[in-house]
Each structure stands twice: as C-alpha cells, then as structure tokens.
Structure 1
Amino acid sequence: MDLVLDVVGWVHVSDGRLLAVRARARDRLYLPGGKREPGEDDWTALSREVREELGVHLDRESFHGIGVVEAPAHDQPPGTRVRMACYTAGYHGEFTATGEVDEWMFVSPDERHRLAPAVQAALELTR
C-alpha cells in the first residue's frame, strides 16, 4: 500500500510569482507549510508552520482554502504520495528564513521545474 503524506501549504502569489522555500538538504522548492501536529486543525498547523519557517504571522480573517492537490512525494521512498490542502491568507511581518528553511524566494511559472511535484500541482490552483 502506498504511503500518503497529508500536509497543508500556504499559497502566496505576488506579481505573478509563487512564494517557495528550500528546506535543509533539499534540491527542490516547497510551499511554506507541513504536517499537522496531533489535534491541530489546518489553520493552527499552517499558521504555526509558516511562523516557524518564515517568521511571519498569517491573518486568520483572510484564511481561505483553494483546493487539495495530490502528487508523488519528492525525495521519499517509491510509491509515497503527498496530499496537500492549499490555503491563501494575508500575513503580517517580514519574511526571514528561520530554523527549518535555508531560503525563500518567489518563483515564476516558467521556473516550475524547480518545484517539488505537489507544488507544481498547487501552482495550477493559482490560475
């Protein structure tokens, strides 16, 4: 049976480019976000992950689901898939790569080859 990693991701687009992060020792870019801790709902998990990765606070009032994508998991054993619930939200603060990520950047659609497969799928939700 295939393993499915169930995660949440923040989709933030500015000037037509998608915000992405590079986690430590990874060759592809990911959405800010990650796995839920036990008992967390999507809002709690995503706001915590974004704060831990980028040092910004998401705005609860503008938090909005835009879809769920599923794709092969990058850098995981064969057969592993990612199921990612994607959300948009405004934010407060300045982006700073913190403990969990090495860098953040905005990626244009023509740079989609730099994105992990699930993030490529999430990019389609922004069109």
Structure 2
Amino acid sequence: MANGNGVPEKVAWILVRNDRVLVTRSHGRDRFYFPGGHREPGESDSETLVREIDEELQATIDPGSMVHFGTFEIGEGHPGHGPFRMICYTADYRGELIPSREIAEKAWFRYADRDRVSVVEEMVFDALHEAGQLS
C-alpha cells in the first residue's frame, strides 16, 4: 500500500541475533527480504507488523517493544526500481519463527550476504553494519 504521496511502503521487522539478521524468501523469488509487508487500510505500523509476522512466521510481535530502526527509501530514478519506502522496526516476539505457506525459507545473513537481498534491504544491511550490529 502507498502512503499519501503515492510511494509504496512496507513495514519491516529487523531481528538481529549473533551478528546475523533474519531474512525470508518468498516462493518464486531469488532475493531475500526482511519479514513484514504492506499496511491494510487503516492499519498502524504496529498493527501491520503484528499481522504480517504472524502470517509469515507464525510468531507474535510484542507491539510495546517496537523501536523504530530507520526508514529507508529509493527514489524514482533508481535503475530497475520505482520509488519505494521501507519503515523498519526492531521488536521482541514470542514463538518459534516457523515459515508459513507464503515463505519458502528463512535464513540468518551476515553482512557478506548483502548481495542476496533487494536494493532497499542492502541499505538496511549497511546501516546495521555501520552500527556494529551485523558482521
């Protein structure tokens, strides 16, 4: 779903453990992405993240623990991509992180795996690496 300016947005979950970050790959895709998705009409970021993580990984996000990590955006002129914005949060969760039917696989990536994610995710990888959270 797009924001008021018509830029498509995704609300994403950033989960770092042991210098690795959680990513998922959907069926039929080669690239990995951060778990999360687009808002339904009227949803807040926290409602979106809770719903999407339940749908994708069968885990329950604690909305009270959500912390905005950053908002990352590519513009109209980015080769091969239109404008896109990803709003990223860290958050605690309950559950086992079991991929649902829409998720082909989950993985834990290091910074060296950066070339296996999408353009916007690369920006987040860089920010995590610069912050010393991803080796």
TM-score (norm 2): 0.84
SS in 2 for 1:4: coil
The reply to whether residue 14 of structure 1 matches residue 44 of structure 2 is no
Does structure 2 conserve the Cα–Cα contact (< 8 Å) formed by 1:71 and 1:121?
Answer: no
Separation in structure 2 between the aligned mates of residue 67 and residue 89 of structure 1, nearest angstrom: 13
**Corresponding residue of 1:96:** 98
The reply to whether residue 29 of structure 1 matches residue 32 of structure 2 is yes
Match of 1:40 among 22, 39, 43: 43
Separation in structure 1 between the aligned mates of residue 105 and residue 121 of structure 2, nearest angstrom: 16
Q: Count how many residue pairs are aligned between Structure 1 and Structure 2.
A: 122
Q: 1:95 to 1:79 in 2, by over 3 A?
A: closer
Separation in structure 2 between the aligned mates of residue 20 and residue 59 of structure 1, nearest angstrom: 19
Regions of 4+ moved over 4 Å:
none
Question: Which stretches in structure 1 are left out of the alignment for 5+ residues?
Answer: none
Report which of the two has the higher share of strand: 1
Match of 2:125 among 101, 107, 123: 123
Separation in structure 1 between the aligned mates of residue 100 and residue 75 of structure 2, nearest angstrom: 27
Separation in structure 2 between the aligned mates of residue 49 and residue 32 of structure 1, nearest angstrom: 8
**Corresponding residue of 1:62:** 65
Q: 1:79 to 1:21 in 2, by over 3 A?
A: closer
**Corresponding residue of 2:3:** none
TM-align CA RMSD: 1.9
* Paired AA for residue 28 in structure 1: R
Higher relative contact order (CA 8 A, sep 6+): 1
**Corresponding residue of 1:114:** 116
Give the percent of matched residue pairs that are identical in Structure 1 and Structure 2.
Answer: 36
* Paired AA for residue 60 in structure 2: H
